[in-house]
A and B are shown apart, each in its own frame.
Chain A
């Protein structure tokens, strides 16, 4: 194993060790989506409804809240984590110690994706006995949406963390982006009951694209290829920019 690979693996291991010790990760990524899913999922009952494309509203929200985990990781957890590291000189220390330039981006990508996977599984485990987990109609499309959406938002999170000057500003901007994305693009009312202006705003939010690419093939109510292509493009651009910006 080369010294660069060894150094990168040490950094990845350290970041995996530290992630569960971060209260922001525990509360915002693991607990918040589950609590919201339990509340909102129970608010509209289980009878199929036209507003929910004739699906069970509870299961609509189970499928939708998977993307809340993605947004919480990408728009809040990672930007705050990275900005804090930058602000306190942790990244300079990593750079001075000779960690490869790409190693920190790799570590954050790995931690972000694994966090999303674990938080998503936990969400389904909690949802299963309460509302049931809806059957997946098009597994390949759902997985494509999940993977591309996760990469896109983890990269956006890394990018935000490198652009914002402090942990406080990252938290403020992250929440400012997260709340409308959460309400209009994933965990709020279904698009069919939104007013036209609000619906148009929701349509241009990246989290809405991700939610469509996961929810519609999951519940068998559509195959949104345009949204999947947009998410793929976002993943490519955000990853390239994040890798460039987060080089040590």
Chain B
């Protein structure tokens, strides 16, 4: 049924870009009566790092498992590197590098043996990759003896080993300490610089903000919105706030601030002023304070980040009175 549906959709597809690495249209997947992915559309283009974000149960992992041909969709069309992930699985999988959530290697397999097992004829130098990810000294260690961070780094090495055209990383830094996370981020950033296409599944919003050129937010198996981190912040981050102490006394500052571009509201309490509005108010308020020759020492700026934007987006999407946003692309 899936293959028939896929063929029908391919014929009807009109917006397939020539640099498309992943094209998904109307993907639907259920487990029993529970719909996990619901008519999902998704595009990944060559050289992009795309983040698939959302809370646990949003359908992210099922989506990438369908993209890899590890799960058979109930309906919809998927093309990955111009191949059907289910029908052409044997041809497609060697072109992908993947780090899967909740997967492992045999406990007694040593790191060096894992490299030998997964290396195809076109593989990079395994020893160089192990050294790059700080695993050269662990070559003879069994998988079971590796720490959580070392395991994740080994999975990353294996994902990159065979010069994949698309790298899929699912919960890449789960369980890593902050230092190890930064190391892995640096490695992914290097992939981006080398032009590798990466689909990154995460619920760590700072990770998506640091690494992804484009972010797709999912909830309940559907795309809520997508765009660059800056675009999502602009659309969903709410207001920026500038706060400072100004003291009491007659002053026209508050009324002047209310007239500045982008200002939505100005509140005064206990000798402190808070200016709320679009992000541009940060610059305008700063300029006004400088013009008055008095920059308060306790000046504080609350700038929304991607996490705030997405929390706002997800909160909005849970409210049935507010329509779910559709993709920007």
Residues on the A chain within 8 Å of B100, using CB = 89, 92-93, 96
- Whether A100 lies near B90 (C-beta < 8 A) is yes
- Whether B68 lies near A96 (C-beta < 8 A) is yes
Residues on the A chain within 8 Å of B106, using CB = 14, 18, 85, 90
Chain B residue with Cβ nearest A19: B108
- Whether A89 lies near B70 (C-beta < 8 A) is no
- Whether A6 lies near B96 (C-beta < 8 A) is no
Counting contact residues on chain B (CB < 8 A from A), the size range is 20 to 34
- Whether B104 lies near A90 (C-beta < 8 A) is yes
Looking at the assembled complex, report how far the CB atom of B154 sits from the nearest CB atom of chain A, in whole angstroms: 11
* Given contacts A6-B121, A10-B116, A92-B70, A98 and B104 within 8 Å (CB-CB): no
Segment 99-136 of B: residues with Cβ below 8 Å from A: 100, 102-106, 108-109, 113, 116-121
Chain A residue with Cβ nearest B143: A90
* Given contacts A14-B113, A18-B109, A21-B108, A92 and B103 within 8 Å (CB-CB): yes
Looking at the assembled complex, report how far the CB atom of A96 sits from the nearest CB atom of chain B, in whole angstroms: 5
- Whether B105 lies near A97 (C-beta < 8 A) is no
Looking at the assembled complex, report how far the CB atom of A14 sits from the nearest CB atom of chain B, in whole angstroms: 5
Looking at the assembled complex, report how far the CB atom of A60 sits from the nearest CB atom of chain B, in whole angstroms: 38
Looking at the assembled complex, report how far the CB atom of B72 sits from the nearest CB atom of chain A, in whole angstroms: 13
Tell me if A17 is interfacial: C-beta within 8 Å of chain B. Answer: yes
Q: In whole angstroms, how far apart are the Cα atoms of A79 and B105 in the complex? A: 17
Partner of B120, one of A3, A11, A18: A3
Per-residue CB proximity of A77-103 to B under 8 Å, as 1/0?
Answer: 000000001001110110111101100
Residues on the A chain within 8 Å of B70, using CB = 92, 95-96
Looking at the assembled complex, report how far the CB atom of A87 sits from the nearest CB atom of chain B, in whole angstroms: 9
Partner of A93, one of B94, B105, B113, B119: B105
Looking at the assembled complex, report how far the CB atom of B214 sits from the nearest CB atom of chain A, in whole angstroms: 23
- Whether A22 lies near B90 (C-beta < 8 A) is no
Tell me if A46 is interfacial: C-beta within 8 Å of chain B. Answer: no
Tell me if A7 is interfacial: C-beta within 8 Å of chain B. Answer: yes
Tell me if B181 is interfacial: C-beta within 8 Å of chain A. Answer: no
Tell me if A4 is interfacial: C-beta within 8 Å of chain B. Answer: yes
- Whether A98 lies near B90 (C-beta < 8 A) is yes
- Whether B113 lies near A7 (C-beta < 8 A) is no
Tell me if B98 is interfacial: C-beta within 8 Å of chain A. Answer: yes
- Whether A3 lies near B121 (C-beta < 8 A) is yes
Residues on the B chain within 8 Å of A101, using CB = 89-90
Residues of B within 8 A of A (CB): 68, 70, 89-90, 93-94, 96, 98, 100, 102-106, 108-109, 113, 116-121, 158
Residues of A within 8 A of B (CB): 3-4, 6-7, 10-11, 13-14, 17-18, 21-22, 85, 88-90, 92-93, 95-98, 100-101
Pull 18 A–B residue pairs with CB atoms less than 8 Å apart, ordered by A: A3-B121, A7-B120, A14-B106, A14-B109, A17-B113, A18-B106, A18-B108, A18-B109, A22-B108, A85-B106, A88-B104, A89-B100, A89-B103, A90-B104, A93-B100, A93-B103, A98-B120, A100-B90
